[in-house]
Structure 1
Amino acid sequence: MSQNITYKIYTMCMVQNGSKVLLMNRPDSKGLPGYIAPGGKVEFPESIVNGAIREVREETGLVVNDIIYKGLQEWCEPSTGLRYMVFNYLATSWEGELLQDPPEGELLWVDIQDALKLPMQDWFRERFPLFFEEGTFEHSDVWDREADLVLDSTRRKYRDKALEIGM
């Protein structure tokens, strides 16, 4: 029996300035309340990285220059056929000024060491340190929405082997 599969593709981009990162405090009315990095839905047919760059610009006013792919976070719901994918990036340089009245929530530069003390969604709290580790990550959960139960979980970290052998 075949099932209709729906793919939802999103991005998240952590903007880093030395020991600080830019987070936004999303209000309850926007969903996913608490502190989170900029990001959102990738529009068809834009590339995933261009979607990340656009989302940072729309939500913060900054245009990121140096952007590094950090990893994939995904959730699959077998009962609904939904695969929700978030491609994660780290930006370490940008141009522009922060928006005075950002659309998604108040913007705050916060020290990386203090960020996890802020209120945030559990999935973002788990992912946060991975932006600053060497290499990339892959997190995948198969989730039973009705039972609110994770049926299967994959956690992987990848290092760049070419760097290890001096290439």
Structure 2
Amino acid sequence: MNAKVEIYTMSMIWNPDTDQVLLMNRPGRKGFPGYIAPGGKVDFPESIVDGAIREVREETGLHVKQILYKGLDEFCDPEQGLRYMVFNYLVTSYEGELLTDPPEGELKWVSLQKALELPMQDWFAERFPRFFDAGTFERSVIWEKSSGQTLQETFKTYRDEARGMQIE
């Protein structure tokens, strides 16, 4: 079967000085309503990290100075022949001013400790702490859209690669 592959990014923007993250309150008409980190589809043939940087600029107005790869969320639906990949990043340095009328939803700086109290999709709440965990992660889910059922899930974390990979 020829699978269709869709590649997306998600970038958590973190201000280490204030320990706040920038989230957007995405309206229901845009899909995935509630608070979420900026991100979107990677345009062919741009690199994945360039797509992440572009999405941050388009959705927030900020220009990324430092970005760290955090991990991959992958969802496969055999019925549709679809592999949906989301590359996750942590932005730790940026410059510029926030957009006054952002295209994807209202932007809000929130303390890291209070962020999970905001209304958000369950899958984003689950992913949120992974942006701040040491190392990187990889999650793969095989599911059926028609039944909404997860058929298989694999989750790995990779830590301290400099001294030898440890898989958990």
Whether these two folds match at TM > 0.5 is yes
Question: Deviating runs (4+, > 4 A) in structure 1?
Answer: none
Identify which range, 138-147 or 43-52, moves more after superposition.
138-147
SS in 1 for 2:130: helix
Equivalences for 1:76-95 in 2 at 5 Å?
Answer: 76-95=76-95
Mark the CA change 1:63 to 1:148 in structure 2 (over 3 Å): closer, same or farther. same
How far does the alpha carbon of each residue in 1:94-129 deviate from its partner, in whole angstroms, 9 at most, with x for none? 010000000000000001111111111111111000
SS in 2 for 1:100: coil
Equivalences for 1:15-164 in 2 at 5 Å?
Answer: 15-18=13-16, 19-163=19-163
Q: Write the distance in 2 (CA, Å) between the matches of 1:73 and 1:23.
A: 19
Q: Write the distance in 1 (CA, Å) between the matches of 2:164 and 2:117.
A: 34
SS in 1 for 2:100: coil
**How many residue pairs get matched?**
163
How far does the alpha carbon of each residue in 1:34-83 deviate from its partner, in whole angstroms, 9 at most, with x for none? 00000000000000000000000000000111100000001000111000
SS in 1 for 2:126: helix
User: Corresponding residue for 1:14?
Assistant: 12
SS in 1 for 2:117: coil
CA RMSD in angstroms, aligned pairs only? 1.1
Q: Which segments of 5 or more consecutive residues in structure 1 lack a partner in the other structure?
A: none
Identical columns (%): 66
- Read off the aligned partner of 2:143 and give its amino acid letter: W
TM-score (norm 1): 0.95
How far 1:162 sits from its partner (Å)?
1.3
How far 1:6 sits from its partner (Å)?
0.2
How far 1:161 sits from its partner (Å)?
2.8
- Read off the aligned partner of 1:75 and give its amino acid letter: F
Mark the CA change 1:93 to 1:163 in structure 2 (over 3 Å): closer, same or farther. farther
SS in 2 for 1:113: coil
Q: Write the distance in 2 (CA, Å) between the matches of 1:7 and 1:157.
A: 23
Q: Write the distance in 2 (CA, Å) between the matches of 1:31 and 1:15.
A: 21
TM-score (norm 2): 0.95
